[in-house]
């Protein structure tokens, strides 16, 4: 129990750090909100406008609200951890922590708690804007499914964020790969553009990656009368496989000491 | 019981042997200076003692435990000031210390620790706003906040201005008064001489000198340096004819490297008296730790 408090203390300071970091506040928090307002104002001509997705048809407003929730989850976990952990490793902060009696699992737990809190803030904010400003429905029968997708997406993208630090040996490479991967995938995963508008081969490429399945899962959960609980075996399965790949790489290859050759 | 015991410590990276069998002990409440040129094995040694690196062979005990298998209880008793390890720039000084103090079972109070390193008036400043010297003092505060018995200070004053270094020296002396054992590396020989009870000098993975700084200096072969200024127009040739020690001139300053200082001073001063020459700023300096260090680790010993 005392060690759980250690993890909570670290989570608290990690959150304080995130809110003081302009890159986190602007790029990872404000940006998805601005995109949601822009997309739902530009791409949806009226409440009747619908978009095709895996489960059938859904209003465009619900489609982009769910897609941008997936986008925000990936930024708060994958991008945030890739940049944050690489920066802390390359500046020697992780090495210093390793020299204290703090158990390393409490550090990882603290980082995951920080990302989870950011995810909760973002998902609640985006859904609230969708419901209040753009008339998006939150079907009660899909609430459990929605929670499962948010939790699974958070875990999967957090694991991948830790795993990618194995190849980002400098802060510059992490600051490039972290956002770039999410932005690029957003074009072919039904986040920035509906998959309706993609050529088949591009949608097939998108389906390989987890962002497509997180977006599609959340979109199903915002569509009334389709998909039962909203949970779909292929969406859940692909997310889980990517999550396990991330965990197995992170557990085996995560480094605490600077990786770039000393100057 | 000794705080640190090292016997026959060896470390190889591939075919390169970085440490070639070193031995030393550090007593409890001792300030032990560990000196050597870059690449001599200093950092490898300190990182083995700190529990960051595995050794290839040899016996090592730090506070009675093997640092090759660091345990939580052992880590609670040591404090580290590492080279090139930053702190989170977005937290304040007090937040940083509160975070690190949460890792220890009986930490020192945050404000008391900040006063000890002279950062009491910066407690609410962001780490990013501190000067280089203030950040290094915060590094020391982070190492102290767990109230450790043994402190590793790896180049704690690099980049300090002279007054900040003086302040750091006072702080290290206070830590010794608090009963801490301190393992110190530094590039500044005056610092090692001032602070250390004993020093070890490492070269090419071997310890080449070990003892109190004053004894090492006295035992060294380095010559006493006699220096002074000659009045304008005094020919160096006249000096050379009367003194048999090697002469070097830099600007107006003349220095003699005297293996027998009593004899050299006699030759010099009797010549000056005879000729009515005033030797301005005459002084004789016994070899210091720096001279011994350069003699033991200088260019002549490489290759």
At B66-108, the pLDDT tens digits run 999 999 999 999 999 998 889 999 999 999 999 999 999 999 9
pLDDT for res B248:
83
C-alpha distance from A220 to closest chain B C-alpha (Å): 40
Closest CA to A155 of A250, A222, A41: A250
Q: What angle do CA B149, B155, B159 make, to 5 degrees?
A: 135
Question: Given strand B247-250, what is the order of strands in its sheet?
Answer: B247-250, B253-258, B224-229, B280-285
Q: How confident is the model at residue B301 (pLDDT cuts 50, 70, 90)?
A: very low
With an 8 Å Cβ cutoff, are B75 and A17 in contact? no
pLDDT for res B299:
58
Q: How far is Cα B83 from Cα B21, in angstroms, rounded to an integer?
A: 24
Q: Chain B, 19-58: which have a CB under 8 Å from a chain A CB?
A: 50-52
Contacts of residue A254, defined as CB under 8 A and 6 or more positions apart, other chains included, come to A162, A163, A165, A166
Record the tokens describing residue B53, joined without a space.
Answer: 């690196």
C-alpha distance from B79 to closest chain A C-alpha (Å): 8
Record the tokens describing residue A126, joined without a space.
Answer: 């985006």
Contacts of A6 in chain B (CB under 8 A): 102-103
Contacts of A92 in chain B (CB under 8 A): 82, 84-86
Q: Of all helices (H) and strands (E), which one includes residue A58? A: strand A56-59
Contacts of B95 in chain A (CB under 8 A): 13, 16
Q: Where on the phi/psi map is residue B81: left (φ > 0), alpha (ψ -120 to 50), or beta?
A: beta
> Would you state the torsion angle of the CA atoms of residues B158, B162, B164, B170, taken in this order, to the nearest 10 degrees?
100
In chain B, the residue whose alpha carbon lies closest to the alpha carbon of A3 is B103
Q: How far is Cα B199 from Cα B202, in angstroms, rounded to an integer?
A: 10
Q: How far is Cα B239 from Cα B228, in angstroms, rounded to an integer?
A: 12
pLDDT for res B241:
87
- Name residue B150's beta-bridge partners: B78, B181
pLDDT top residue among A127 and B233? A127
DSSP A159: H
pLDDT top residue among B196 and A230? B196
pTM: 0.87
pLDDT for res A263:
45
With an 8 Å Cβ cutoff, are B80 and A93 in contact? no
Per-residue pLDDT for B169 more than 50?
Answer: yes
* Regions of chain A with pLDDT less than 70: 45-48, 227, 261-263
pLDDT for res B251:
77
Q: How far is Cα B236 from Cα B252, in angstroms, rounded to an integer?
A: 11
Q: How far is Cα B277 from Cα B279, in angstroms, rounded to an integer?
A: 6
Closest CA to B142 of A176, A198, A92: A92
- Whether residue B226 contacts residue B284, with contact meaning beta carbons closer than 8 Å, is answered with yes
Return the HEC string of chain B: CCCEEEEEEEEEECCEEEEEEEEEEECCCCEEEEECCCCCCHHHHHHHHCCCCCCCEEEEEECCECCCCCCHHHHCCEEEECCCCCCCCCCEHHHHHHHHHCCCCCCCCHHHHHHHCCCHHHCCCEHHHCCHHHHHHHHHHHHHCCCCCEEEEECCCCCCCHHHHHHHHHHHHHHHHCCCEEEEECCCHHHHHHHCCEEEEEECCEEEEEECHHHHHHHCCCCEEEEEECCCCCCHHHHHHHCCCCEEEECCEEEEEECCHHHHHHHHHHHHHHHCCCCEEEEEECCCHHHHHHHHHCHHHCC
pLDDT top residue among B214 and A148? A148
With an 8 Å Cβ cutoff, are A99 and B75 in contact? yes
pLDDT mean over B294-298: 79
Q: Does any CB of chain A come closer than 8 Å to the CB of residue B183?
A: no
Q: Does any CB of chain B come closer than 8 Å to the CB of residue A91?
A: yes
Bridge-based pairing state of the strands B253-258 and B224-229 = antiparallel
pLDDT for res A199:
93
pLDDT top residue among B262 and B61? B61
Q: Chain B, 86-105: which have a CB under 8 Å from a chain A CB?
A: 86-88, 90-91, 95, 99-100, 102-104
Q: Does any CB of chain B come closer than 8 Å to the CB of residue A263?
A: no
With an 8 Å Cβ cutoff, are A96 and B142 in contact? yes
pLDDT for res A61:
92
Contacts of A257 in chain B (CB under 8 A): 52
The shortest CB-CB distance from A9 to any of B82, B99, B142 is to: B99
Per-residue pLDDT for B300 more than 80?
Answer: no
With an 8 Å Cβ cutoff, are B88 and A17 in contact? yes
C-alpha distance from A4 to closest chain B C-alpha (Å): 12
With an 8 Å Cβ cutoff, are A101 and B80 in contact? no
- Residue B226: half-sphere exposure toward Cβ, Cα within 13 Å: 21
C-alpha distance from B219 to closest chain A C-alpha (Å): 37
User: From the centroid of its chain, how far is CA A233?
Assistant: 20
Closest CA to B4 of B83, B47, B66, B68: B66
pLDDT for res A121:
98
Record the tokens describing residue B153, joined without a space.
Answer: 């200070």
pLDDT mean over B239-247: 87
Phi first, then psi, for residue B9 (nearest 5°) are -70, 125
Q: How far is Cα B198 from Cα A207, in angstroms, rounded to an integer?
A: 66
Q: Does any CB of chain A come closer than 8 Å to the CB of residue B73?
A: yes
pLDDT for res A45:
65
With an 8 Å Cβ cutoff, are B87 and A13 in contact? no
């Amino acid at each position: 129990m005392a060690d759980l408090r250690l993890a909570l203390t670290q989570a608290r300071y990690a959150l304080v750090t995130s809110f003081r970091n302009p890159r986190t506040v602007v790029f990872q928090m404000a940006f998805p909100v601005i995109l949601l307002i822009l997309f739902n104002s530009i791409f949806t001509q009226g409440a009747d406008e619908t978009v095709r997705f895996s489960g059938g048809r859904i209003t465009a407003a619900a489609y982009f609200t769910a897609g941008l929730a997936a986008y925000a989850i990936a930024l708060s976990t994958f991008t945030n951890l890739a940049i944050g952990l690489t920066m802390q490793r390359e500046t020697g902060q992780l090495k210093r922590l390793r020299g204290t009696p703090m158990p390393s699992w409490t550090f990882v737990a603290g980082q995951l708690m920080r990302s989870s809190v950011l995810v909760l803030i973002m998902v609640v904010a985006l859904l609230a804007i969708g419901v209040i400003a753009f008339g998006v429905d939150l079907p009660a029968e899909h609430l459990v499914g929605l929670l499962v997708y948010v939790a699974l997406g958070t875990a999967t993208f957090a694991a991948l964020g830790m795993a990618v630090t194995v190849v980002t040996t400098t802060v510059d490479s992490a600051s490039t790969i972290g956002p770039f991967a999410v932005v690029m995938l957003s074009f072919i995963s039904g986040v920035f553009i509906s998959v309706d508008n993609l050529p088949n081969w591009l949608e097939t490429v998108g389906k390989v990656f987890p962002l497509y399945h997180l977006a599609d899962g959340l979109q199903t959960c915002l569509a009334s009368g389709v998909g039962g609980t909203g949970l779909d075996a292929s969406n859940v399965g692909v997310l889980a496989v990517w999550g396990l790949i991330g965990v197995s790489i992170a557990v085996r290859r995560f480094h605490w000491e600077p990786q770039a050759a000393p100057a | 019981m000794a705080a640190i015991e090292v016997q026959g410590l060896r470390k190889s990276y591939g075919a390169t042997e970085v440490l070639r069998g070193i031995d030393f002990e550090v007593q409890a409440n001792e300030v032990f200076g560990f000196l050597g040129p870059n690449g001599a094995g200093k950092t490898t040694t300190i990182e083995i003692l700190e529990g960051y690196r595995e050794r290839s062979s040899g016996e090592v005990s730090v506070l009675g435990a093997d640092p090759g298998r660091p345990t939580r209880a052992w880590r609670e008793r040591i404090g580290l000031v590492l080279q090139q390890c930053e702190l989170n720039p977005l937290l304040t000084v007090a937040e940083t210390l509160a975070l690190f103090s949460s890792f220890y079972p009986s930490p020192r109070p945050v404000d008391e620790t900040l006063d000890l390193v002279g950062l009491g008036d910066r407690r609410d400043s962001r780490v990013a706003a501190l000067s280089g010297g203030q950040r290094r003092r915060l590094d020391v505060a982070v190492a102290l906040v767990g109230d450790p018995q043994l402190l590793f200070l790896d180049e704690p004053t690099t980049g300090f201005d002279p007054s900040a270094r003086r302040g750091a020296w006072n702080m290290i002396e206070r830590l010794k008064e608090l009963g801490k054992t301190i393992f110190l590396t530094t590039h500044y020989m005056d610092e090692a001489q001032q602070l250390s009870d004993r020093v070890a000098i490492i070269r090419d993975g071997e310890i080449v000198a070990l003892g109190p700084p004053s004894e090492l200096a006295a035992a060294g072969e380095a010559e006493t340096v006699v220096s002074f200024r000659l009045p304008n127009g005094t020919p160096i040739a006249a000096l050379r004819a009367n003194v048999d020690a090697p002469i070097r001139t830099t600007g107006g300053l003349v220095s003699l490297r005297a293996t027998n200082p009593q004899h050299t001073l006699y030759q010099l001063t009797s010549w000056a008296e005879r000729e009515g020459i005033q030797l301005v700023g005459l002084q004789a300096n016994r070899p210091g730790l720096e001279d011994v260090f350069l003699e033991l680790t200088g260019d002549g010993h490489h290759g």
